[in-house]
Amino acid sequence: MGCIIQARMGSSRLPNKVLMKLNNENTLLYFVTNQLQNCKSIGKIVVATTTLTEDNDIVEFLKKLNIEYFRGSSANVLDRYYQCAKKFSFDIIIRITADNPLIDPTIVDLAIEKFNSDSFDYLTNTRKRSFPYGTEVEVFTFSALEKAWKNSTEPFELEHVTPYFYNNPEQFKIFDLINREDLSSFRWTIDGVNDLKLVKILISKIQKRPILMNHIVKILKDEPELIKINKNNVTTEDNH
């Protein structure tokens, strides 16, 4: 079992965001990897970036952190995931994107626990939205990934990795992870400048590490004016 984080410098809406500082010391990509290192269930974390020259900076950054990386296709992210999982012999893959520096490790552990409780092929908390934007996690088997890799033909499927699963539900045993409380109106993914502004504020206000969903929700409920900072942003999976 391993976690693959997709990351690249060429974000269309906020270029180079993965190496932007979120506080005086640490970058967005640092926060993603550091949060995930608090997971109890993940064996290995790998960042899957591209072979483009512009992503050399990501590789150099990861080397300093002693985090493993894989370089693959920039456009065909599904192939990048497949080749990465194959190289590291992952039988189960946890998919995370580098848009989400405050990914909650307890949610990831919950997803893995549920995935392992039955013979699921694919688990997601994104299809039936109840978790905040910024806490997305998907778990799937290598065999399911391989089937998607062999059969996906549409550009959208190649770009977004997992559409083949939920567009062909008769081929897979799928589980939708639902939160007890609907928190889907909250948002702390980083897609644009206003998202970046909000996340920096949240990090400055929360001293506990790792930062958990409940910590953030409490602040946003106590200080609802913060929600207005990025309320007009629309989430796109931009960090391929």
User: What pLDDT, on a 0 to 100 scale, did the predictor assign at position 236?
Assistant: 58
Torsion of CA 115, 72, 29, 9, to 10 degrees: -140
pLDDT score for 233? 74
CA atoms within 13 A on the CB side of 194: 11
Contacts of 27 (CB under 8 A, 6+ apart): 18, 19, 20, 21, 61
Measured from the Cβ of residue 164, the count of other Cβ atoms closer than 10 Å reads 25
- Output the pLDDT for position 141: 99
Q: Which two tokens stand for residue 235?
A: 């989430």
pLDDT at position 237 over 60: no
> Average of pLDDT values for 131-148?
99
> Of all residues in the chain, what percent carry a pLDDT higher than 70?
97
- Contact criterion met (CB below 8 Å) for 31 and 22: yes
Average pLDDT over residues 75-97: 99
The pLDDT value recorded for residue 238 is: 52
DSSP one-letter string for 138-206 = EEEEHHHHHHHHHH--SHHHHHHSSHHHHH-GGGS-EEE---SS--TT-B---SSHHHHHHHHHHHHH-
Q: What is the mean pLDDT of the chain?
A: 97
Q: Say which amino acid occupies 184.
A: S
pLDDT score at 88: 99
Question: Would you place residue 10 in the very low, low, confident or very high pLDDT band (cuts 50, 70, 90)?
Answer: very high
The whole-model pTM stands at 0.96
Q: What mean pLDDT comes out for the span 153-159?
A: 97
The mean per-residue pLDDT over the stretch 97-102 comes to 98
60 vs 39: CA distance, rounded Å: 24
pLDDT score of 26 more than 60? yes
Looking at residue 216, its amino acid is I
DSSP type of residue 207? -
Q: Is the pLDDT of residue 129 over 60?
A: yes
Residue 104, CA distances (Å) to 16, 34, 49, 96, 134 in order: 23, 11, 22, 11, 9
More confident residue, 234 or 47: 47
State the burial class of residue 170 (Cβ atoms within 10 Å of its Cβ: 0-12, 13-18, 19+): exposed
pLDDT tens for 190-217 read 999 999 999 999 999 999 999 999 999 9
Domains of the chain in sequence order:
2-230 (3.90.550.10)
Q: What is the mean pLDDT of residues 4-27?
A: 96
pLDDT band at 239 (very low <50, low <70, confident <90, very high): low
Give CA angle at 127 (144, 119), nearest 5°.
Answer: 35
What tokens appear for 95 in the block?
């998919």
